[in-house]
Structure 1
Amino acid sequence: MLDSAIKEQLKAYLERLQRPIEIVAALGDDAKSQEMRALLNDILDCSAKVSLREEAHARIPSFGVAVPGETARIRFAGLPMGHEFTSLVLALLQVGGYPPKVDQAVIDQIKGLSGHFDFETFISLSCHNCPDVIQALNLMAALNPNVTSTMIDGALFQGEVEARQIMAVPTVFLDGAEFGQGRMTIEEILAKVDTGAAARAAEEIAAKAAFDVLVVGGGPAGAAAAIYAARKGIRTGVVAERFGGQVMDTLGIENFISVKETEGPKLAMALEEHVKAYDVDIMNLQRAAKLVPAAEEGGLVEVQLENGAALKSKSVIIATGARWREMNVPGEKEYKAKGVCFCPHCDGPLFKGKRVAVIGGGNSGVEAAIDLAGIVAHVTLLEFADTLRADAVLQKKLYSLPNVTVIKSAQTTEVTGDGQKVNGITYKDRVSGEEKHVELEGIFVQIGLLPATDWLKGTVDLSRFGEIEIDAKGQTSVPGVFAAGDCTTVPYKQIIIAMGAGATASLSAFDHLIRSGS
């Protein structure tokens, strides 16, 4: 099952086990069970501290990881390969007593949870967001005896996927009820299950002293701004809704100069580690609600948060990035994650053998259609304009695929469904004016991004597209307030450009502090 190189690496990892662990497997005679048996035997070969026993279970094939004599609280229903192999390795280590690499405050919060929490997470092995959720829940299960975590491969357990109407991954259930969808960090999960966490966080934030530079946003632009500010030796804070930002939802990155290829979550992790190497106060899972300019020259700018707390700073750098643009048609919101999706890499495998649509004829839309064509029965690509905007090489590939239909001059007017999931899409032919309907099971929206600037309306000058208007130094229309990245009027929304803009805004903020005598 595992090649020799992977087995050698696994053997080295398992040398870190602090105590024996037991794998408890439920296997049948089917091909997937045999693959799982081969994987488990490879694990046994890598450490004498690992033992295996079999027992009956409702999901076959599956296996749990436990301390001998205890019930398995971490379970894998499916082969944890691909992106999930790291989840398996971490589960083995953590159940085996190897200390996790998370803040002690997080560990204490997990151990302090009261009540019982039974998590089930449906994933696809091609999903790059799923491992973060699995690893977070597995860690909770490893540290707290009242928590269980089960990974379920949706492609393997199609019956459950259909019964629970799962149309996106990761989808998490808690005690049988839907808990959440999409990527979630361990901090986000804890904030939802620990009812007192939000109030404690608001109280701690409200008590903080004023910053020299406060960065709002934790993506590439925000991270660069924070690092440049901290290196000046001034008091720096970062308040972010989600550290890593939109990068967390990006699969392949092949144009980040000096790095031949990487993945969004890996880059986001590297950004956070780099920021944490400096004396930066990071306040994660916090959404900005309002910007209050300084009352007088040289005064403090205030950023009010949705949790009721407020932060003050001598200068502010806004780097809130952008979010997926929605179609804004009837039915879209009702069927989001019930057939309306935004990530073909993550959710594509759930639509195997089905009919889907891709909305958008730019590079992202055409790439999505090409990827999906290898999985689904048929792809219908709808483009509003009369021509596709994607690169010629992508268009050539798209038109070569036998199970793809391209419809141009198509204005999407409605997403239809049966009350539970998507069953079609309606569009207007912009040439003839005729309204048409396509029956399908999934819709992938790929029409660009919207700047996350709603909270700034009426405070700083915004373009007609909602972007923050900045000058060459990143200065906004409000003194002491700078901006960088995808939320601004800077052309070309690229990671490397956002980082440069973050550095520019930070240097400009420092120059502002010097010149204002702050």
Structure 2
Amino acid sequence: MTKQYDVIVIGAGPGGMTAALYASRSNLSVLMLDRGIYGGQMNNTAEIENYPGFTSILGPELGEKMYASATQFGAEYTYGTVKTVEDHHDYKTVITDEGEYQAKAVIIATGAEHRHLGVPGEEDYSGKGVSYCAVCDGAFFKGREVAVIGGGDSAVEEGIYLAQLASKVTIVHRRDQLRAQKILQQRAFANDKIEFVWNAQVEAIEGDGQKITSVRYRDKVSGLEKQLPASGVFIYVGIEPMTEPFRALGVLDEAGWIPTDEQTRTKVPGVFAVGDVRAKHLRQIANAVGEGGQAGQAAFDFIQELQDEQSGRTV
């Protein structure tokens, strides 16, 4: 039998959990669905230093605190990989590998994934020097040498940011010129703390088992393998939204992100989106939480309007 709720939140990261908190606090029945453990990318973050209220907190610990808050007003949580979502106007059907659910409103909070290099050492040193977010982890490398892998806007922007903290930033790029905007290139080239390694194919991230010591790469021109000393490696070779299950809804842009208005509403009434899955610039816990609160309230408003509409039909 298909279970019915007022709101289904797909994804239990910081944005999704906050949306569940606000919706359930408004006396709506809420289900959080996630393919894994609640907390999202926070579970892969050793320490968080830029979330208000905490000087420093472990990522999984913050996830636990948010989950306790998100479920205090009755929101349920269950596992499930979403296959698709169907819009029937008055209700939405969420189809998962574990069964089907219905809700009057759906909040998408599935996030995004950074593309990985897929080289030895990348997974071993994830959270121990390998990072995909300079704003999150840059402060841990103050006064040390770091490497940035990539040549697009994100790589160069984060390289410039890291140059404020690190003693030296080396941008390692597989081509002989950057792909970033010219203004960003100019800023990077003008920064005396930023150096470049061109035509470099990263082969491995090396360390002593506890921390990173270097990046091993192959010079594509000479064919020689070389080593670049580094205490941290920041990887920016692309980011992809986790939105494939929502393609049939028609809420995605050409790149697969979900555009919304300021109230997190998508182009489909009753479908909202929060967090890293949205088409936006900054992807941080703090703004995901803010968006989650907005979405929870927007879902409540939508359901109220829907009920008024249905009452008008029966009069």
**C-alpha distance in 2, partners of 1:318/1:384?**
31
- Equivalent residue runs for 1:424-443 within 5 Å: 424-426=216-218, 428=220, 434=221, 436-439=223-226
Q: Does 1:303 align with 2:94?
A: yes
Deviations 1:109-164 (A, max 9, x none): xxxxxxxxxxxxxxxxxxxxxxxxxxxxxxxxxxxxxxxxxxxxxxxxxxxxxxxx
Aligned to 2:66: 271
SS of the counterpart of 2:3? coil
Q: 1:232 aligns with which of 26, 32, 38?
A: 26
- Equivalent residue runs for 1:458-497 within 5 Å: 458-497=248-287
**TM-score normalised by structure 1 residue count:** 0.46
**C-alpha distance in 2, partners of 1:499/1:271?**
10
**C-alpha distance in 1, partners of 2:136/2:75?**
35
SS of the counterpart of 2:261? coil
State the identity as a percent: 24
- Residues 366 and 409 from structure 1, CA distance in 2 versus in 1: closer, same or farther, beyond 3 angstroms? farther
SS of the counterpart of 1:467? coil
**C-alpha distance in 1, partners of 2:30/2:255?**
30
Q: 1:398 aligns with which of 162, 168, 171?
A: 168
**C-alpha distance in 2, partners of 1:452/1:272?**
21
**C-alpha distance in 2, partners of 1:380/1:255?**
22
SS of the counterpart of 1:408? strand
Structure 1's unaligned 5+ residue stretches are 1-206, 349-357, 374-378, 418-422, 429-433
Amino acid at match of 1:304: I
Amino acid at match of 2:99: A
**Bigger relative CO (Cα 8 Å, ≥ 6 apart):** 2
**C-alpha distance in 1, partners of 2:202/2:140?**
21
SS of the counterpart of 1:289? strand
Q: CA RMSD in A?
A: 3.6
Q: Does 1:446 align with 2:260?
A: no
Contact 1:322 1:451 in 2 (8 A): yes
Structure 2's unaligned 5+ residue stretches are 171-192, 206-214, 311-315
SS of the counterpart of 1:253? coil
Deviations 1:25-81 (A, max 9, x none): xxxxxxxxxxxxxxxxxxxxxxxxxxxxxxxxxxxxxxxxxxxxxxxxxxxxxxxxx
**C-alpha distance in 2, partners of 1:427/1:406?**
19
Contact 1:475 1:481 in 2 (8 A): yes
**C-alpha distance in 2, partners of 1:342/1:409?**
24
Q: 1:250 aligns with which of 36, 39, 45?
A: 45
Q: Which protein shows a greater Rg?
A: 1
- Residues 436 and 464 from structure 1, CA distance in 2 versus in 1: closer, same or farther, beyond 3 angstroms? farther
Q: Give the paired residue count.
A: 269
- Equivalent residue runs for 1:129-278 within 5 Å: 207-241=1-35, 242-278=37-73
**C-alpha distance in 2, partners of 1:369/1:411?**
26
> How far did residue 275 of structure 1 move?
1.9
> How far did residue 302 of structure 1 move?
1.3
Q: Does 1:410 align with 2:198?
A: yes
